[in-house]
Structure 1
């Protein structure tokens, strides 16, 4: 079968790889769409994502949806459209624990964090455990459902902010795919006003389409009000953006670090955090939000705006170049195999 494989820095290929030979307790899924994430881009460009370096050929992709090909007892039957939780079932089970199961060590599709690496979902067939599958509701297109994993990340982060979101004046700094989905998550959580800021006009248009009432283009002279927001979501993954977030938050407000910052120490104006008694939240992937993400995607057609480009699997290199250019793209997806819902 074909798969998108990274062999090292700037060495991304569409390879022929062996199809999985699943164990008796595995379900095979024919992957239809896969969304390109920032971690995929880092692996492709740098050969590593944070501290995790590619040491063997790695099939990328963890934002994947498809159709069950061969099932097992207790799993959705063949032909069922499904989203796939990319973590091991222990992280997907959702048992109540104070820390959340997603913070425990485990595997994640398309990750070099384990030895051997955990191969990902940008492949024509993927074998997973039944607990990783989420059947999709009737009427939810697979192309929109591919947002389920990143939307879960945004929902988890906004959930970390708690009740302070309802009725809040909120700022999202960075309007890429995660930022846009954070805007939608804030809207669904009851934020009264949402402002999105970015250096590019294209992502700001997407943010406006999913719920940002005001957009600020920082590259064109737009400015963010100081000490004016109840909650600020840093979604750019930029150190300067984190500093701006602390400046924008009102006294007693909260900052959510949703974007991934570089590993190692980063300079932060802690004086603002101290003087304004800010609460700073971290957010790591997601825990039990996948079902909520799927339900909201089924109910909210505006979210499809986040999917800006679609490429065939054979054009993966061009797709990655598109995904890396935020001036013209939001969420770029790979069409791994034929979409059974799409009319000829």
Structure 2
């Protein structure tokens, strides 16, 4: 099986990998599509995500869908050939957080395509992978694999919006119009937010934000536009930039709520803490997801409008080109790898 393997910063190779056979309790999946995530881009550009540095060759990717190719002996699961999405997390199910139903913040969880542990957890950008059976979800009838590949990032967005509380009828600010920010907008629209104001530094992602449901957009580098987002009931920080967090705290109304979704740079950052104190602003973190994954699949099957988020699709053989483009937010949003297409194809890239 061919796989997209990171060896370090700017060192991405398409190599042969043996996925192995599924043991009891495991399922083998032939991967069809994978979505390039921000963490994948960090591994590609920096060789690390935060403090987690690549120490051995690692298959990237955790946003993956495909079809069941084999079941381990005695394993219950979808039949061979069934289209499935793969939940990328393996929590320990033994810690306090898991017992409290907060498996997404399990300190011992393993995640596809993560260098947080040694040996690293190999990811899903491979033509075949083997995962625990309880991480495999059969797709509802009518939900295509190409659309279902957004289940993982949509789960992240859905979890963040749920951390914000009831959004129906609310005025909401979203800072950052990358793929996750755009999916946050789509969820907010689906759940009945009255106003959705999106802030970003580039016009191109702001145009996509309008297509998925933003009622207004703000160029973050134009102070005169800030009043459009003033006194938001809720703010969701999806950029991972300290300036985005500052904007959320400054523009949310007194007594409002700010959800921190984007991962900020390592180390300490400047923070307007006095505003949080004097205005009694609630700060809430949002990290990954758990059962939200099943709800995200249902939303995709029900037709939530997320089509504009996916802008390009590349065959596996052109992984480096895909990663380079995915890092250019003026030209691309969510970039997919097609792992079914001829590994050596020279066909033109699909730009949606």
Alpha-carbon separation, structure 2, partners of 1:247 and 1:253: 11
For structure 2, the residue ranges without an aligned partner over 5 or more in a row are 343-352
Alpha-carbon separation, structure 1, partners of 2:237 and 2:137: 29
Asked if the contact 2:186/2:305 (under 8 Å) is kept, the reply is: no
Give me the TM-score of the superposition, normalised by structure 1: 0.93
- The alpha-carbon deviation at position 283 of structure 1 amounts to 0.8
Alpha-carbon separation, structure 2, partners of 1:51 and 1:179: 24
Alpha-carbon separation, structure 2, partners of 1:269 and 1:89: 34
Alpha-carbon separation, structure 2, partners of 1:96 and 1:113: 19
Does residue 170 of structure 2 align to residue 161 of structure 1? no
Alpha-carbon separation, structure 1, partners of 2:179 and 2:224: 21
Change (3 A) 1:127 1:283: same
Does residue 47 of structure 2 align to residue 47 of structure 1? yes
Match of 1:144? 147
Match of 1:306? 309
Alpha-carbon separation, structure 2, partners of 1:301 and 1:284: 22
- RMSD of Structure 2 on Structure 1 (CA): 1.7
**Secondary structure of the equivalent of 1:264?**
coil
**Secondary structure of the equivalent of 1:74?**
coil
What whole-Å deviation, never above 9, does each CA across 1:307-329 have from its counterpart, x for those lacking one?
Answer: 11100000000000111001111
Match of 1:330? 333
What whole-Å deviation, never above 9, does each CA across 1:171-204 have from its counterpart, x for those lacking one?
Answer: 1111110000011121222211111111112211
For structure 1, the residue ranges without an aligned partner over 5 or more in a row are 340-344
4+ residue runs of structure 1 moved beyond 4 angstroms?
Answer: 219-222
**Count of residues paired in the alignment:** 335
Asked if the contact 1:89/1:129 (under 8 Å) is kept, the reply is: no
- The alpha-carbon deviation at position 138 of structure 1 amounts to 1.2
Match of 2:198? 196
Match of 1:294? 297
- The alpha-carbon deviation at position 215 of structure 1 amounts to 1.5
Give me the TM-score of the superposition, normalised by structure 2: 0.91
Match of 2:348? none
**Secondary structure of the equivalent of 2:89?**
coil
Alpha-carbon separation, structure 1, partners of 2:269 and 2:220: 22
